[in-house]
Structure 1
Amino acid sequence: MNRFADRAAETLAAVRENRPLIHNITNFVVMNYTANALLAMGASPVMAHGINEVEEMAALAGALVLNIGTLTEEWVAAMIRAGKKASELGKPVVLDPVGAGATRLRTASAKQIIEQVRVRTVRGNASEILALETRDATTRGVDSVHSVEDVAGTGSAMADALKTTLAITGPTDFITDGNRVLRVANGHPLMARITGTGCTATAIVGAFSAIDDDPVCAAASALAFFGLAGEVAAQHASAPGSCMIQLLDALYTVTPEDLKAGARIREAR
């Protein structure tokens, strides 16, 4: 028996029963796809970035997802305003520092959000996560030039320093709050060939975080679910285009029982 798989299955069932509203301030590239992914898995998405309404929307939502993929200074201001309101109300905030390390604006914006908002979880690739604490970490556009293992040795210390849970995704995901460490081995290589799968993973972490108040377990459960959906999708897809559609279908069809049987989550150090 795997208690983490059991918990993942229970959380997925609760998401589908409660349909939490997930407020996304995200990028133009992925808005439609992540909204469809949240709908398919059983959550209720809303995409709202207008600075005059984000506080109201954050107050209504079960979780807030912030994604700097196509950021502007105005959007960052809206993210901070929404994040402060969500934090004030005790709602989980999940940050995706897309492309941090690629430009000064992206890196500074991600750090500014972390400094001013009580971010419960940061989901990113290894280079993006490294850029949050070091000056010499770079990305290739929004793609990682580091591996998860490059961060594994210092990940716990980084999470402790940043006062958040880090969910670092790659072939095997690494999740830590500075004390506990979980590894997730679900997924398929075709997922890396589809634009926005990282952003979609972050949105799904938001949905699981709206139900499970343990950020480490919520992130691990979400990534196992998304990875398992990718495995199922790849069984029916011949290339990235068909996999993209099959992935949405798998988010709908993967059951809590499937997740309980297929989630590959383990404790690690």
Structure 2
Amino acid sequence: MTTSPFQQRITTALDAVRQQRPLVHNITNKVVMNFTANGLLALGASPVMADAIEETADMVDLANALVINIGTPSARTGMVMKCAVSHAHNTGKPWVLDPVGAAATRFHLDTARLMLEYRPNVVRANASEIQALYTGELGGKGVDSTETPEAVESLAMTAARDWQTTIAITGATDLITDGYKQVRLHNGHPMMARVTGTDCLATALTGAFLAVEGDGLTAVTTALAVLGIAGERAAAEVAGPGSLHGKLLNELYLLTPDILNQHLKLEEQ
């Protein structure tokens, strides 16, 4: 089967993470911290989950990439996150924003929009979160989306250009764009939505791939493809979400470039 240059970069990125074991600094929400760390380890990256403001700049310097997830924000974590993204922006450290819940409450949205001022390389979100970030209007169902990626496709293209970033909107079909090129990804399994933290893990994996692959579009597409394929393979062997959690980590560990190429369902535009 013929693969495009873009698909070849995806498989190369998987190998690079395994070889380089990048250190990914996660300032993330309390719900997913353990799952996120284990997912990064299973992939082959190295996580650090520090959130003390006294060492934030040092941790950003040590890490190969920074991941910011605003799922459980507070005044304290907001200050830590601002310190981290400001330092990352000033030093050229690649970083990823996951605006979890930005469409749900004004505090979440204001926190996420503040982070945007420091130019993330990638924003990974659902459709309602991207719509809220761009328009300033609330509208999600908690942390869940009330929109589809297709419904906000034009807005996402405009937002990516305006924010000078890559946007990945996850859903039944994932839409990824840098404002000029679009990628649609059809991997994943519905059962993954029954395990908390799978989207947050996708963001963390994006950080790992961004550390070894400077292009945001390639990095986040690789992360979503890897997690989606691992999820498909895990779901095929379990009875329900309780077993999926552990099996998903196993499949991340076992995933190879050949398996990735064989199962990748990707459209480039």
Question: What's the TM-score, normalizing by structure 1?
Answer: 0.97
Aligned to 2:120: 119
Q: Distance in 2 between matches of 1:260 and 1:209?
A: 20
Aligned to 1:215: 216
Q: Secondary structure at the match of 1:84?
A: helix
Are 2:40 and 1:38 aligned? yes
Aligned to 2:89: 87
Moved more, 257-266 or 36-45: 257-266
Aligned to 2:100: 98
Q: Distance in 1 between matches of 2:11 and 2:83?
A: 33
Aligned to 2:50: 48
1:74 positional shift: 1.4
| Structure 1 gaps, min length 5 | none
1:235 positional shift: 1.2
Correspondent of 1:18 among 3, 7, 20:
20
Aligned letter for 1:89? T
1:137 positional shift: 4.1
Q: Distance in 2 between matches of 1:137 and 1:184?
A: 27
Q: Secondary structure at the match of 1:52?
A: helix
1:109 positional shift: 0.4
Asked whether the equivalents of residues 5 and 261 of structure 1 are also in contact (C-alpha less than 8 Å), the reply is: no
Alignment of structure 1 residues 184-203 onto 2, 5 Å: 184-203=185-204
State the percentage of identical aligned residues.
49
Asked whether the equivalents of residues 157 and 178 of structure 1 are also in contact (C-alpha less than 8 Å), the reply is: yes
Question: What's the TM-score, normalizing by structure 2?
Answer: 0.97
Q: Distance in 1 between matches of 2:75 and 2:266?
A: 38
Asked whether the equivalents of residues 5 and 259 of structure 1 are also in contact (C-alpha less than 8 Å), the reply is: no
Q: Distance in 1 between matches of 2:83 and 2:257?
A: 35
| Structure 2 gaps, min length 5 | none
Q: Distance in 2 between matches of 1:135 and 1:231?
A: 35
| Structure 1 residues 96-131: Cα deviation after superposition (integer angstroms, max 9, x where no partner) | 00000111100000000111x121100011011111
Asked whether the equivalents of residues 26 and 69 of structure 1 are also in contact (C-alpha less than 8 Å), the reply is: yes
Q: Distance in 1 between matches of 2:235 and 2:65?
A: 29
Q: Distance in 1 between matches of 2:16 and 2:127?
A: 30
Asked whether the equivalents of residues 38 and 45 of structure 1 are also in contact (C-alpha less than 8 Å), the reply is: yes
Q: Distance in 2 between matches of 1:237 and 1:154?
A: 38
Alignment of structure 1 residues 131-210 onto 2, 5 Å: 131-210=132-211
Asked whether the equivalents of residues 189 and 235 of structure 2 are also in contact (C-alpha less than 8 Å), the reply is: yes
Q: Secondary structure at the match of 2:134?
A: coil
Aligned letter for 1:70? T
Q: Distance in 1 between matches of 2:185 and 2:233?
A: 16
Q: CA RMSD in A?
A: 1.0
Aligned to 2:225: 224
Q: Secondary structure at the match of 1:107?
A: helix
Asked whether the equivalents of residues 119 and 163 of structure 2 are also in contact (C-alpha less than 8 Å), the reply is: no
Q: Secondary structure at the match of 2:187?
A: coil
Aligned letter for 2:221? A
Asked whether the equivalents of residues 84 and 118 of structure 1 are also in contact (C-alpha less than 8 Å), the reply is: no
Q: Secondary structure at the match of 1:183?
A: strand
Aligned letter for 1:61? A
Aligned letter for 2:187? N
Count of equivalent residues = 267
Aligned to 1:266: 267
Asked whether the equivalents of residues 25 and 65 of structure 1 are also in contact (C-alpha less than 8 Å), the reply is: yes
